[in-house]
Amino acid sequence: MRMSRANMDKNPDEVAAMFDGVAKRYDLVNDLLSLGRTKAWRKATTKIIDPRPGQKILDLAAGTGSSSEPLAAAGADVIPADFSEGMLAAGRKARPHLAFTKADALNLPFANGEFDTATISFGLRNTQNTERALAEMLRVVKSGGHLVVAEFSSPTWLPFRTIYTNYLMKALPWVARKTSSNPDAYIYLAESIRAWPDQEALAAKISAAGWVDITWTNLTGGVVAVHKARKP
C-alpha cells in the first residue's frame, strides 16, 4: 500500500508513517530541497547550541541523527529522539554509536530536569501541539538550561520572501517528484513551512511556554531561524 502525505492537522500516526516512508533518502532529498544549505544550517545551529563535554543534550525529532552527530563529536552526551520507527532504524544503521530513543514530543519519556539543553531542528512544526512540545522540553531541562529550535521561518526581505514562497509551493513539489519515493510527503512539508509562524510569533509561543531570554538568529536571510531560550 502506498503511503501518502500527512494532513495539516498533524495527526501523530500519520506524520510518523509519512516519515517512515521517506526515511531512507530523507537526508539526500533535504539537501536537494534546501539548495544545499542543510549542512550550513546544521553547523550554525551546532555553534549556537555550543555543545561541550559533560553536557547532556536531548536532540528531539533527530531523524537519522545528522543533527546529533556534531553534538556527540564535541563530547556531549546526546540522546537522539524521534517518534518515527523508520527514521530511528535508518539512524541506528547509519550511526550505531548514538543512543537513538523513541519519544513523543508531546509526552517525553524523560525525568524532570534531566538535560542541560533540549534542541529540535526542523521538527517542531510537525508536532500536533507546538505549545505542549515546548512545555515538555521545558520540563526535562534543568533550571538555567537552554532550548534551541532550528526551523524554517519567514525571509526578512519581502521580494525574496515572495520568490521563496512560490518556490516552496511550485518548484519544490516538482523536485520532490523527481527525487523522492513519496513526493506527497514533501508537498505536506512545503505547506507546513508556509503555514508556520514567523520569527516573532514563534518567540511569543516559546515565551508563553515558560522560557525566558529568547533570541533568534536568521540564516539564509530568514529562510531558517534558530531560536534560543533559557529555563528560569
pLDDT at 6 over 70: no
Q: What is the model's pLDDT at position 219? A: 96
pTM attached to this predicted model: 0.86
Indicate whether 145 belongs to any domain. yes
Q: What is the band of 15 on the pLDDT scale with cuts at 50, 70, 90?
A: low
Question: Which residue segment(s) compose the domain that 188 sits in?
Answer: 12-230
What's the pLDDT tens digit per position in 73-131? 999 999 999 998 988 999 999 999 999 999 999 999 999 999 999 999 999 998 999 99
pLDDT at 10 over 90: no
Indicate whether 6 belongs to any domain. no
Residues 6+ apart with CB under 8 A from 201: none
Residues 6+ apart with CB under 8 A from 189: 33
Q: What is the band of 190 on the pLDDT scale with cuts at 50, 70, 90?
A: confident
Indicate whether 107 belongs to any domain. yes
What's the pLDDT tens digit per position in 59-84? 999 999 999 999 999 999 999 999 98
Q: What is the model's pLDDT at position 195? A: 86
Indicate whether 168 belongs to any domain. yes
Indicate whether 7 belongs to any domain. no
| Cell triple for 84 | 518515527
Indicate whether 2 belongs to any domain. no
Residues 6+ apart with CB under 8 A from 138: 147, 209, 210, 211, 231
Query: Which CATH number characterizes residue 103's domain?
Result: 3.40.50.150
Give start and end residues of each alpha helix (H) in 60-150: 69-73, 85-94, 130-140
C-beta separation of 125 from 105 below 8 A: no
pLDDT at 161 over 70: yes
Indicate whether 1 belongs to any domain. no
What's the pLDDT tens digit per position in 41-52? 999 999 999 999
* 44 vs 18: which has the higher pLDDT: 44
pLDDT at 29 over 70: no
Indicate whether 180 belongs to any domain. yes
pLDDT at 135 over 50: yes
Q: How many domains does the chain have?
A: 1
Q: What is the model's pLDDT at position 167? A: 76
